[in-house]
Amino acid sequence: MINKINALIAEIEAFQATSLEAVEAFRIKHLSKKGTIAELFEQFKALPGEEKRTVGQAMNELKTKAMDKVNQLKEELCNTESSEGESDLTRPGDNIRLGSRHPLSSVKNEILSIFAKLGFTVSEGPEIEDDWHNFSALNFPEEHPARDMQDTFFIQKSPDIILHTHTSSVQVRDMESHPLPLRLVTPGRVFRNEAISARAHCIFHQIEALYVDEGVSFADLKQTLTYFAKELFGPETQIRLRPSYFPFTEPSAEMDVSCSLCHGKGCNVCKGTGWLEILGCGMVDPNVLELNGIDKDKYTGFALGMGIERITMLKYGIKDLRLFFENDIRFLEQFTATI
Ligand code: DAH
């Protein structure tokens, strides 16, 4: 009897099926009331007591193996049949996981769309630049210490070819090639030789705006900044301008917005000041207009520039800038913005 059981176990283990019908036939053959296993149980009853122990163990193993086989084959076949669409074509499909836009892209698009409402069109320029477009034409004289503000990656020395350190280089290209008046926003990726940390990276993103026309005044700049800040951070947002220095603007300022988290009361994001620094700006220095062939007695302009990472961090309360570049899906899928 043990031999019979072992032969049946081997048969069961070797069994394969390509359809649910074949599995059902197998179940009936072995596990039904008149099946092979039930028949063996009948014979088992007639065995002498001392044999019952060993044979009983083998019988139990046989029955479990047969039941496991049926379940396993049924599961496998159900999965393949439904994915091949052979069974129920009306079954709902598996959900496709949708990607989400990178937070830097959606904040960039949001900023561009705010400026679009003010009539600014998008202009982009090369990432690999010469010294003229990145520095000289922006009123950075050679050997001027202001060049040290931006640790430059060089591709080639004399003539210097570099990775642009700011999108202001695109302003120069715009002034060269576009007829006046100019009203442009220039998003771009910029490069600086900085140690990577939670607050700095050697690659980051900027958006710059440039407006050059007859009669453009500081009041126009201030109004544009106020509108921009309220659109981006909410209608209750206040701005303040602090005097600053950039070689290409005179006067220059840095703009703070009232902290949208504590509403100016002071919290750890704004370090208790109630204000967050957002961007640099100013009136285009007449030297820059002149260097770019624009009549400085007829035209004036304003410019402003901001880092997209910084704004995104403030908007979403992100504490570590490196997260933007790691592409960890658990981080990225938290952002569902549609723009
Ligand atoms: N280019 C500056 C930087 O990268 C940012 C900036 C400041 C741009 C003032 C401007 C501006 O257009 O007016 O640090």
Residue that is written with structure tokens 């695109």 in the block: 170
The CATH classification of domain 103-332, taken from the options 3.60.20.10, 3.30.470.10, 3.90.420.10, 3.30.930.10: 3.30.930.10
**Spacing, Cα 233 to ligand 1 middle (Å):** 21
Residue 86: its pLDDT value, please?
Answer: 60
Name the more confident of 124 and 85. Answer: 124
Q: Is the pLDDT reported for residue 81 higher than 70?
A: no
Closest-lying ligand 1 atom to the alpha carbon of residue 190: 4
pLDDT bracket for residue 268 (50, 70, 90):
confident
pLDDT tier at 339, thresholds 50, 70, 90? low
Above 80 in pLDDT, residue 176? yes
Q: Is 93 helix (H, G, I), strand (E, B) or coil?
A: coil
Model pLDDT for residues 7-38, shown as the tens digit of each residue: 889 989 898 988 888 898 989 999 988 889 88
For the chain, what percent of residues have pLDDT higher than 90? 60
Q: In this structure, which long-range contacts are made by residues 294-299, counting pairs with CB atoms below 8 Å and at least 24 apart in sequence?
A: 294/175, 294/180, 294/212, 298/214, 299/180, 299/212, 299/213, 299/214, 299/216
pLDDT tops 90 at residue 54: no
pLDDT of residue 99: 82
For residue 218, pLDDT beyond 70? yes
CA of 250 to the centre of ligand 1 (A): 12
Ligand 1: distance of its center to the CA of 281 in Å? 6
Provide the residue type at 94 as one letter: D
Q: What integer pLDDT is reported at residue 93 of this predicted model?
A: 85
Percent of the chain residues topping a pLDDT of 70 = 96
Q: Sorting pLDDT into bands at 50, 70 and 90, what band is 132? A: very high
pLDDT in tens, 289-326: 999 999 999 999 999 999 999 999 998 889 999 999 99
Q: How far apart are CA 163 and CA 248, in angstroms?
A: 19
- Check if 134 has its Cβ closer than 6 Å to any atom of ligand 1: no
| Number of separate helices (H) and strands (E) present in the chain | 12, 10
Task: Please give the structure tokens belonging to residue 186.
Answer: 């220039």
Cβ of 303 closer than 6 Å to ligand 1, yes or no, is yes
Q: What is the mean pLDDT of residues 248-269?
A: 91
- DSSP states of 2-43 as a string? HHHHHHHHHHHHH---SSHHHHHHHHHHHHSTTSHHHHHHHH
330 pLDDT more than 80: yes
Write down the pLDDT at residue 189. Answer: 98
- For ligand 1, whether the C-beta of 253 sits within 6 Å is no
Find, among 252, 249, 254, 271, the residue nearest to 262 by Cα: 271
Q: Give the pTM.
A: 0.73
Dihedral of alpha carbons 173, 127, 287, 245, sign: positive
Q: What is the per-residue pLDDT for 202?
A: 95
| Mean pLDDT computed over every residue of the chain | 91
Q: Is 300 in the pocket of ligand 1 (CB under 6 A)?
A: no
Is residue 58 lining ligand 1, measured as CB closer than 6 Å? no
Task: Supply the pLDDT for residue 228.
Answer: 98
Distance 274 CA to ligand 1 centre (A): 23
Tokens of 272: 């208790």
Location of structure tokens 């140690």: 195
Query: What type of residue sits at position 199?
Result: R
Q: Is the CB of 8 under 6 A from ligand 1?
A: no
Reference 255, options 295, 300, 284, 225; nearest CA is: 225
pLDDT at position 331: 93
pLDDT given for residue 42 in this prediction: 86
Nearest CA to ligand 1 atom 6: 305
What was the pLDDT predicted at 262? 87
Average pLDDT over residues 78-94: 71
Q: What is the pLDDT of residue 282?
A: 98
Instruction: Tell me, rounded to whole angstroms, the distance of Cα 93 from its chain centroid.
Output: 27
Res 231 pLDDT > 60 = yes
Mean pLDDT, rounded, for 329-334: 90
In this predicted structure, the answer to whether residue 131 has a pLDDT above a threshold of 90 is: yes
For the Cβ of 246 lying below 6 angstroms from any atom of ligand 1, the answer is: yes
Which pLDDT score is estimated for 241? 98
Ranked by mean pLDDT, which of 11-25, 200-214, 257-271 comes out on top?
200-214
Half-sphere exposure of 128 (CA within 13 A, CB side): 5
Nearest protein Cα to ligand 1, atom 14: 166
Residue 82 CB neighbour total at 10 angstroms: 14
